Amino acid sequence: MINRYQNYAGDAINFLCRCIDVDDLEECMRTGVKSEKYEELQLLANNFKETHDLYFIYIIEPLKADPPDNMMDVFAAYTSWGKADGTDGLTDLGNYTGDAYPREVALQYMQRMDNDTKVTYFRNDTDFGRIYTAIRPLINSKGEPIAVICGDILIDDIYNAAYTYAITTFIVALVAGFLIIMALNHWYNRRLVHPIKNLENATGEIEAKCRRRAPVSELVMNDLNIHTHDEIESLSGSIASMVEDIRNYASDLIDNEKKLSAMEDKASQLEALANRDSLTGIRNKTAYDNEIKSLEYNLHLGNTDFGIGVVDLNYLKVINDTYGHEKGNEAIKNICRIVCVTFAHSPVFRVGGDEFAIILKDHDLENIDSLVEKFNNELAALAENKDLQPWEAVSAAIGYATYDADKDAGAVNVFKRADNNMYENKKKMHAARQ
């Protein structure tokens, strides 16, 4: 019975894990701000707890072994009735737990900050009673554990039921032994052997269906016609009810997974619309502003290895006025392609009608001078090709700046210096043509 409850809790935790965008959750933990996905997860988990027999569903970040404040609350599901009677506490993102987790319990959580996504279990005797905790880590896209998700089940009732069942079984065994001594073998077979055999066959059929992963609609136990008016009939009814619960539970999981898939598709479409430039297909000004916020935050953490490049297309107004806006759009897409190919290891953003920004990191940052030279050489080669139209032989000015703690108060200042350097380059290009 404990194994069934453990598997029940483990399945619930694995299902919720599939509903979590771990990178988004990590951003919420980092900023202390609840995202839209966080709120959607809160609603899903609340509904899940309302309809499933889990005492607690929560996410925590283990910080250290010894209290106080050895854990940080990230998330907890709650029910309307649990919140009303105080069973569900006011756990919230960023709260610290004080003395709620003793050292030996905290170590259980810290040991699961690994890369193994298998659900494990441990027992924890609390003020609420004996609890089994199902636990697994949440892994971000970098393969790093950021927190653990847990589901608790109370096992006091299980132990009491097991004790009662053991006593009852012992009494039944004594009675059965007395009846055997009294030579009532026929009664014994009719009241015990045959019903148990029927029950065994029925549960064996259900087990076989589960092993071959039969459709949920087939997980139905036939009427065993057991009317012994004793524990066996009660057990038969309990197993039939449990099979029905499992079937309903599986159906709910399938329905929720379909809803989740639809939500994820919708979210992906909205994200694409919000962050993609419709003309070029690259990221837009909104995505660039978000990247700048991320750079500003990383600066506070000491991550200063980045630069910003600015590219501005020349003569777009002339092309639009002379050949039409359709050819102007072709020019924009052509210069965008050259920028993206040249700076293949850096994100490129369209931040204006004819202006592009490049966030320089790693390989592109280390080789920026050679990449700028490569960019200018390609434009020069286009200019020399007399067979190309003006919207094909595009021209552009480029400038860049790398972060300098003595000059820059933040990422915005780096952009301004890069923009100034681009305009200096543009002035030189105009002067060279005169």
Angle at 174 between CA 168 and CA 175, to 5 degrees: 90
Low-confidence ranges of the chain (pLDDT < 50): none
Alpha-carbon separation of residue 78 from 51, 186, 231 (angstroms): 11, 54, 36
Task: State the Cα–Cα distance between residues 374 and 370, nearest whole angstrom.
Answer: 6
Using the structure block, give the residue that is written with the tokens 């890069």: 418
Q: Please tell me the predicted confidence (pLDDT) of residue 6.
A: 77
DSSP type of residue 432:
H
Centroid of chain to Cα 275: 20
Q: Please tell me the predicted confidence (pLDDT) of residue 92.
A: 83
Task: State the Cα–Cα distance between residues 152 and 69, nearest whole angstrom.
Answer: 21
pTM for this predicted structure: 0.42
Centroid of chain to Cα 251: 23
Does residue 332 sit in helix, strand or coil? helix
Q: Please tell me the predicted confidence (pLDDT) of residue 323.
A: 94
Q: Please tell me the predicted confidence (pLDDT) of residue 200.
A: 75
Query: 34: exposed, middle or buried (C-beta count within 10 Å: 0-12, 13-18, 19+)?
Result: middle
Alpha-carbon separation of residue 85 from 76, 81, 112, 131 (angstroms): 16, 6, 32, 20
Q: Please tell me the predicted confidence (pLDDT) of residue 61.
A: 96
Q: Please tell me the predicted confidence (pLDDT) of residue 224.
A: 65
Q: Please tell me the predicted confidence (pLDDT) of residue 1.
A: 67
* Tens-digit pLDDT profile for residues 208-231: 777 877 787 776 766 667 777 777
Alpha-carbon separation of residue 297 from 30, 72, 302, 308, 326 (angstroms): 10, 21, 9, 16, 40
Angle at 181 between CA 179 and CA 185, to 5 degrees: 55
Q: Please tell me the predicted confidence (pLDDT) of residue 90.
A: 56
Task: State the Cα–Cα distance between residues 77 and 38, nearest whole angstrom.
Answer: 12
Query: Which residue stretches of 32-131 are H helix?
Result: 36-51, 80-85, 103-111
Beta bridge partners of residue 72, listed in sequence order: 61, 96
Q: Please give the order of strands across the beta sheet that includes 129-139.
A: 71-76, 56-62, 145-154, 129-139, 120-126
111-142 per-residue burial string, b: 16 or more CB within 10 A, e: under 16: ebeeeeeebebbebeeeeeebbbbbbbbbbee
Residue 380: both structure tokens together: 């020069």
